[in-house]
Structure 1
């Protein structure tokens, strides 16, 4: 039995997360389900793609990654299962772009032969039936994830498609010097697309130059600092503050690395 790691933007105020987990239990009793995140900003594919990038290296091989951030639900966007060292189930909308840089898919299938779950032991009202177009997390992705968790053949899910045809977001990770702000975490720290964080240098962003240090505590409270984040990307923060608000940062804003030789001299006591 493969474990399922579940990520969504469903939040916890509504029953959506619990219903998806109930379907997983119905279709694959005994499956271990681990919640990765559910309070992601609604419909924010960049934030969700980064969350998967951060998590995937620590998930066991052969596990199932069920991810549902799906602003195009019910439209012509495809539902897919793909895998390299892990199985990925969700919408074909770019959600897995960054995860697939670490674990490229070798095969992929459309979810066209998935049996949706039925209500359990409930006598529905006359004329009642569940909506068929707006909750693919319940009706398509959860059954497909359960199928793979049981070790059943992926070919049963639908027709095979070339992995290179899967949708990717237009994001590029690079060592620099040019990059952009990819997304923000809940603390207001800006995660960039830069893979390098040269100590002693600076990163130019929003008309200012932010020093690159090893950690937050190497600048004063309320001061801006850049550093290598836990996922290996350069981040920009405010020590005990919110960099997004204080510095006026936004997704897609250009950033540029400057080496120590290019950086301006520091003012004593700064």
Structure 2
């Protein structure tokens, strides 16, 4: 049974491309603990490919609905670190987003729009007024996230900005046609499954197939609906139409990449 956690200490989630070989993630957790050691920190993933903002966008979009209202999501995939790109914090219905203004939050905000956004200009809430040019996760985003989760108001953290000005990552749109839906691949997961930007609601209760890589791939419900090694289309747990191979790797076998086109045909 789910219970309402809103009155408990807020959570902080971390997402990055830092991996687990180096100490960067541990350092960010140390900074959070210095500010408030009672905060619970959840690692969403630190295995995003280096500088892969589009993958980070998808993973955060896929994860945020499963956290209590008020959760602070700190996401650091930041190829523009140290440049003039904005450091931001955003409030939306489910909580807060903290990180670089590079489109990493555009997936979440496409589903739950921002209600307020600030550029992080108040140095009092940074770890240091002279942050590293290469590690804003440590010097800006981790302390901001910890302060937000500890009750500091968003507007204390910097200059309010228009949410409409936030960078959006263009992944392409899915479009309905007379025979189905045209879309593209928006994410490739660890199993090599090719996740499209076509919502599963388009195919619910229908007979359908996906056309991609010169193939017509039958739409089914589970991986085991086809033999081992066969290609299948289905709606994944994330709610999007995907192409997979039963116990195989569709990405390697089909050689399809991010933003490659595909089409759902309703039959």
1:50 aligns with 2:58: yes
Q: Determine the structure 1 residue equivalent to 2:126.
A: 116
**Residue-by-residue CA offset, 1:138-180 (whole Å, 9 max, x unaligned):** 0000111011011112222110001111111113554641100
TM-score, structure 1 length as denominator? 0.88
1:197 aligns with 2:203: yes
Q: 1:2–1:151: 8 Å Cα contact kept in structure 2?
A: no
Q: Determine the structure 1 residue equivalent to 2:139.
A: 139
Distance 1:246 1:164 in 2: 40
1:153 aligns with 2:153: yes
Between structures 1 and 2, the one with greater strand share: 2
Q: RMSD value over aligned CA atoms?
A: 1.5
Q: 2:16–2:48: 8 Å Cα contact kept in structure 1?
A: yes
Distance 2:16 2:40 in 1: 17
Task: Find the partner of 1:102 among 74, 86, 111.
Answer: 111
Q: Determine the structure 2 residue equivalent to 1:64.
A: 72
Distance 1:57 1:212 in 2: 26
Distance 1:234 1:138 in 2: 37
Q: 1:10–1:16: 8 Å Cα contact kept in structure 2?
A: yes
Q: CA deviation at 1:131?
A: 6.6
Distance 2:187 2:139 in 1: 30
TM-score, structure 2 length as denominator? 0.89
Distance 1:194 1:204 in 2: 13
Distance 2:36 2:74 in 1: 14
Q: Determine the structure 2 residue equivalent to 1:230.
A: 237
Q: Determine the structure 1 residue equivalent to 2:85.
A: 77
Task: Give secondary structure in 2 for the equivalent of 1:48.
Answer: helix
Task: Give secondary structure in 2 for the equivalent of 1:106.
Answer: strand
Number of residue pairs aligned between Structure 1 and Structure 2: 249
Q: CA deviation at 1:231?
A: 1.1
Structure 1 runs not aligned, ≥5 long:
119-129, 261-270
Q: CA deviation at 1:217?
A: 0.5
- After superposition, residues 19-58 of structure 1 pair within 5 angstroms as 19-58=27-66
Distance 1:19 1:40 in 2: 18
Distance 1:68 1:78 in 2: 13
Q: Determine the structure 2 residue equivalent to 1:170.
A: 170
Q: Give the structure with higher Rg (CA).
A: 1
Q: CA deviation at 1:29?
A: 2.4
Distance 1:94 1:186 in 2: 22
Distance 1:99 1:131 in 2: 27
1:91 aligns with 2:100: yes
- After superposition, residues 243-258 of structure 1 pair within 5 angstroms as 243-258=250-265
Task: Find the partner of 1:220 among 227, 234, 244.
Answer: 227
